[in-house]
Amino acid sequence: MWVYHRRFGWLKTNIIIPTEARIRHFAMMIGRDVGKEITNLNPLMDAHLASGDRVNATLYPISNRGNTITIRKFAEDPWTITKFIEENTIGLEAAALIWLAIQNEMSILISGGTGSGKTSMLNVISNFFPPNQRIVSIEDTRELTLPQNLHWVPMETRLANPEGKGGVTMLDLLVNSLRMRPDRIIVGEIRRKQEAEVLLEAMHTGHSVYATIHANNADETVMRLTNPPIDISKPMISAISLILVQNRNRRTGKRRTLQIAEVTSAGDPVVLMQYNAQTDRMDTITEPKVTFEKISLYTGMTRQDIQFDIRQKTRILQWLIGKKVKDVDEIGMRMSRYYLGNLQLD
């Protein structure tokens, strides 16, 4: 048995599972508890424990050195925006800009490599959702934890049984979610063309969509979307307002927001803020243009009004950090008061 340590990486323990049959038995028990199965016919399984921790299992000979079980244990207390700021994962100004975009119902795509914190960021930006809207989340395995005061409908895909029946795909859930009158749609990860097409269609029909995708920077994100296997036409991408890029330095273990970019009407990314590794902070590259124009068009706010609003949001975030408000439900309640207009800063 091996364990992963944030500082030291993979470490070998003195615990040994005596037989391959025992590993297989544990994997089958985990699968049964959540309605999934692992067999010689289906030797791969992605599931979760009752605690919500994610489990992946493989059987020999697919993993030809033996059966495996990988458990990704999540923190009991989920990531929140105040924790992200305290950990320097994201700066105050960047967080305030994201809050502004979410308040004004702009769609956001979060990209990054494996283990960079994409899902954590997806969980964090959900802190900014208003309480009077319906949120539908779609995941292969439940990882998100939203504030309890939100009207949240979490949904999860399901594999087909050995006869090939009963499977529920992400595309099935995406199409169904549009019939549920959602205000916000959260998708765990975009992998296929059909999923991307439905998501972009949802954006064009007035839904706010938040999703993740594997890509290392804003330019690569657009390239990934516009080339096979996703292969979306570039003008369609303009429905995405912001691209957030997460990065993990494998040498230091630090996770940081690498870039925040807006998307032009032609589908090109324009980097607004970028992480500076030397100073360990985000630098402003250019002032938002498309983002401010969209907000101004639909709200009537001037550029000065928008900049003032960002400063106010920065002040509120500083106040939340000063008050040590870190719990996801407590942040949800404070955000509710903000949207209702009765949040008092003392």
Contact status, residue 275 vs residue 256, Cβ threshold 8 Å: yes
> Which residues of the chain fall below pLDDT 70?
75-76, 162
The whole-angstrom separation of Cα 32 and Cα 223 is 40
In the three-class reduction of DSSP (H, G, I as helix; E, B as strand; rest coil), residue 71 is classed as: strand
Give which of 152, 195, 146, 162 is closest to 35, Cα–Cα: 162
Neighbouring C-alpha atoms within 13 Å toward the C-beta of 244? 30
Using DSSP bridges, classify how beta strands 208-214 and 108-112 pair: parallel, antiparallel or unpaired: parallel
Residue ranges and CATH numbers for the domains of the chain are 2-72 (3.30.450.370), 81-335 (3.40.50.300)
Q: What is the pLDDT of residue 50?
A: 77
For residues 14-52, one letter each, b for 16 or more C-beta atoms within 10 angstroms of the residue's C-beta and e for the rest, the string is eeeeeeeeebbeebbebbeebebbbeeeebebbbbeeee
Q: What is the pLDDT of residue 164?
A: 76
Give which of 130, 117, 125, 79 is closest to 99, Cα–Cα: 125
Q: What separation in angstroms does the CA of 14 have from each of 11, 67, 135?
A: 10, 18, 45
Question: Cis peptide before 18, with omega less than 30 degrees from 0?
Answer: no
Q: What is the pLDDT of residue 162?
A: 67
Contact status, residue 45 vs residue 56, Cβ threshold 8 Å: yes
What is the model's pTM?
0.87
Q: Under the phi-then-psi rule, with left for phi > 0, alpha for psi from -120 to 50, and beta for the rest, what region is 181?
A: left
Q: What is the pLDDT of residue 75?
A: 66
Contact status, residue 317 vs residue 96, Cβ threshold 8 Å: yes
